[in-house]
Amino acid sequence: MGFISMDKIKVYDVKQGDIGKFGRYYQSDTLSKEDIEWRILEVEDGKALLLSEMILDCKQYNEELEEVTWETCTLRAWLNDDFYKAAFSLEEQARIALINVKNEDNPWDGTEGGKNTQDKVFLLSYSEVTNSAFGFSSPYSNYDVARQAYGTVYARSNGLYAPHNNSDFGNSPWWLRSPGDDPNSAGFIFRDSSLGYNSVSDTYIGVRPALWLNL
C-alpha cells in the first residue's frame, strides 16, 4: 500500500489500495479543516474510486423515521450539497465525476433500493463492500479489517458511537446506501466489520463518503 498526493497524479501513478489526500474537512476539532485521506478502491477509464479512510462525520440516514430510499434520504442531499461544498474547493469539485449510481434491492429481504441516481458523492452498497476487487472480503459475515474504520474526533463529537475499551479497538459503525430489511431501515457496517441494518433515523452511525475522481 502506497501513499500518494492526489493533486497532480496520473492514471499510471495509482493502484488499488493506495492512500491519498484530497479535500479538507474538520477532523481533530471544529476550528480548522485537515486533509482528508482516501483509500483507492479501483482505477478505471481515467478515474479512481475513493473511499474516505476515516469516518468523517455522524449523520442520520434520514432525519425522520419514514420510508425512504437512497434517492430520497437526507444523507444523500447532505453529501452532495453541504459536505461537497465544505470539503472541496471549486477546483477540486471540478475533478469529481458525476456518476450514475446503481441502487440495488436488498439481496436478502428484497426491500426495494429505489431509483438509480446521479451523484458526485455517495455511500458504498452491500455489493461494493463485499467486492474482493475493491480489497474487501466477499462474505458479508466475515471478519474483514478492510471494512473496519475509526471515527475522527469531529465525528465522535457529533454522536458517533466509538468506545475504546474493548476488543473492537474503537472501530465505529458506518452507513451504506443500500436498503435494510424494510423501507424504514438502511444498511450499515458493524464495528466488527459484518453487515447489518438499522433504523434510518438512528443518530450514532457514521459517514464514509465515496466518490469517483478524474485523474
Q: Domain residue spans in the chain?
A: 58-206
Buried b vs exposed e over 157-180: b needs ≥16 C-beta within 10 Å? ebbbbbeeeeeeeebbbbbbbbbb
Q: Tell me, what's the pLDDT at 47?
A: 94
Contact between 96 and 121 under an 8 Å Cβ cutoff? The reply is yes
Q: Tell me, what's the pLDDT at 8?
A: 53
* Predicted confidence (pLDDT) at residue 112 exceeds the cutoff of 80: yes
Is 183 buried (19+), middle (13-18) or exposed (0-12) by CB count in 10 A? middle
Per-residue pLDDT, averaged over 141-162, amounts to 92
Q: Write the DSSP symbol of residue 151.
A: B
Residues contacting residue 161 through CB under 8 Å, at least 6 positions apart: 172, 173, 191, 204, 205
Confidence of residue 167 (pLDDT cuts 50, 70, 90): very low
* Predicted confidence (pLDDT) at residue 168 exceeds the cutoff of 50: no
Contact between 100 and 118 under an 8 Å Cβ cutoff? The reply is yes
Confidence of residue 166 (pLDDT cuts 50, 70, 90): very low
* Predicted confidence (pLDDT) at residue 139 exceeds the cutoff of 60: yes
CA distances from 102 to 33, 63, 141, 188 (A): 31, 23, 23, 17
> Chain-wide mean pLDDT for the chain?
91
Confidence of residue 61 (pLDDT cuts 50, 70, 90): very high
Amino acid of residue 55: I
The continuous run of DSSP H or E covering 212 comes out as strand 210-214
Confidence of residue 30 (pLDDT cuts 50, 70, 90): confident
* Predicted confidence (pLDDT) at residue 84 exceeds the cutoff of 90: yes
Confidence of residue 13 (pLDDT cuts 50, 70, 90): confident
Is the pLDDT higher at 166 or at 23? Answer: 23
| pLDDT 10s digits, 95-110 | 999 999 999 999 999 9
Mean pLDDT lowest among 44-58, 74-88, 131-145, 175-189: 131-145
Q: What is the pTM of this model?
A: 0.93
Q: Tell me, what's the pLDDT at 6?
A: 66
Q: Tell me, what's the pLDDT at 10?
A: 54
